[in-house]
Amino acid sequence: GSSPFLFLLDFLHGLDDPIHNINRYSNVIPKMSSSFTTADRAAITSQSNNEDLWGFVCFPWPEGPWNPLCAWHSSQSEEREFHSPSCLDGAIRIKVNSQLISNVCTDALSAEKYYYFIRLMGRKHSHVALECTLQSHPNMVILGEEVAASKLTLFDITKQICDAVKARADQDKYHGVILLPEGLIESIPEVYALLKEIHGLLKEGVPVDKIYTKLSPWASALFDFFPPFIKKQLLLHPESDDSAQLSQIETEKLLAYLVETEMNKRQKEGTYMGKKFNAICHFFGYQARGSLPSKFDCDYAYVLGHICYHILAAGLNGYMATVTNLKNPVNKWCCGAAPITAMMTVKRWSQNPIASSIGKPAIYPATIDLKGKAYELLRQNAIKFLFKDLYRNPGPLQFDGPGADAKAVTLCLKPGFSKELLKVALNVMALITNMSTTYSSPK
């Protein structure tokens, strides 16, 4: 709620020079919860008026508390609210994860007897996994968007990995590194349907130990198929945006277990004649999130703060600070601001089982463009990555010297924009123009 904001105001009062000292103590700034009520708004507004504050800058995380925007717009407060993107740690996560993955790749090549299954924190979409793959060149990556688009089942994914293991064994290679995005589990059609059924029962107040008895026959059969540790994790209460607790579901261990079971089966049947399959699992998330910021993120944050000042000085309300042309040096970046409402969509949701569905405005993260340049680059190199062990180590975070200004591969690539999407956009624009002309013409 509002308590983190009020705590921050009290904390700043204790500093002799808040503006210059906030950099030193920025790690004490707490995060607001996803629950932000009218009472929270009233408490913050009252305290802000007492402190003679007249601006409110929000850094909402994806699918997070965008309702402060609606709360302020619906109030009579003289405070102006504007937002800054919440993705300030993107470069940090990518750089730290890429180095950790590269270290694992080196160890895999040294030991030559383990397959490493690495799950990467990144919520529902696979942007972090894609960028880390292009940075460190592991043998394989399973992207959630790819799985969803192809409607791959858990069996399909297991078979795909097992076939890759066998193909490498034919070249006398019994090691490898496989990346998995955190949101992969929700991209698998049958698992997603099972999670929705479980979450629906939890919202109805069904006790966790009784969920199994309430599942539909097909969901019950799938639930039975999972090992005990996954069953326990699937029964966790969903997040505030109705998604599963992705960081708590050990997809890497599930796939390692299924692949090991299938490889043992193939070995008994004589279709696999190689050495025993051995897996080691990792989850990289908190290690990267708690790192010192990269030079890019430092520059990005300062530029966003500068834009927020100009938005406030211009008297604008409900705007998002934007920076484009990021692949170029900082002095070539283009700053601007866009109305938040132009980027928002409304999601239907219910606060409790007896409440009616209400609209929840939010800006939802973009998925990986499977027709874009970054994905195309991955597809072009997938076979080489799988068989040739072209492991690459981008090195640690640097604040000066070589590598300090290195940008993400996906950022530097020319953005892909499919002809089909362009055609649809032009048709919609033409339709809007015609409608505007019709309604504005005199009768």
Task: Return the active site residues.
Answer: 89
Q: Terminus-to-terminus CA distance in the chain, angstroms?
A: 52
Residue keyed to tokens 């299954």 = 117
Phi, psi dihedrals of residue 15, rounded to the nearest 5° = -95, 140
- H/E element holding 379? helix 373-388
Concatenated DSSP letters of 175-223: -EEEEEETTHHHHSHHHHHHHHHHHHHHHTT--GGGHHHHS-HHHHHHH
Smallest Cα–Cα separation from 122: which of 144, 154, 105, 101?
Answer: 144
Q: Distance of CA 101 to CAs 44, 157, 208, Å?
A: 43, 21, 36
Q: How far apart are CA 430 and CA 419, in angstroms?
A: 16
Which of 88, 97, 90 lies closest to 26, judged by CA? 88
The CA distance from 397 to 95, in Å, is: 6
User: Cα–Cα distance between 305 and 19 in angstroms, integer?
Assistant: 12
The DSSP secondary-structure symbol of 26 reads G
Helix (H, G, I), strand (E, B) or coil at 52: coil
Which residues contact residue 222 at a Cβ distance below 8 angstroms, ignoring those fewer than 6 apart? 190, 191, 194
Determine the 3-state secondary structure of 133 from DSSP. Answer: helix
Dist CA 404 CA 91 (whole Å): 11
Instruction: Indicate the Cα dihedral angle 68, 69, 70, 75, nearest 10°.
Output: 80
Q: Mind spelling out the 3-state secondary structure of 216-247?
A: CHHHHHHHHHCCHHHHHHHCCCCCCCCCCCHH
In a 10 Å sphere around its CB, with 0-12 CB exposed, 13-18 middle and 19+ buried, how is residue 190 labelled? middle
Q: How many CB atoms lie within 10 A of CB 346?
A: 10
The radius of gyration of the chain's CA atoms, rounded to the nearest angstrom, is: 25
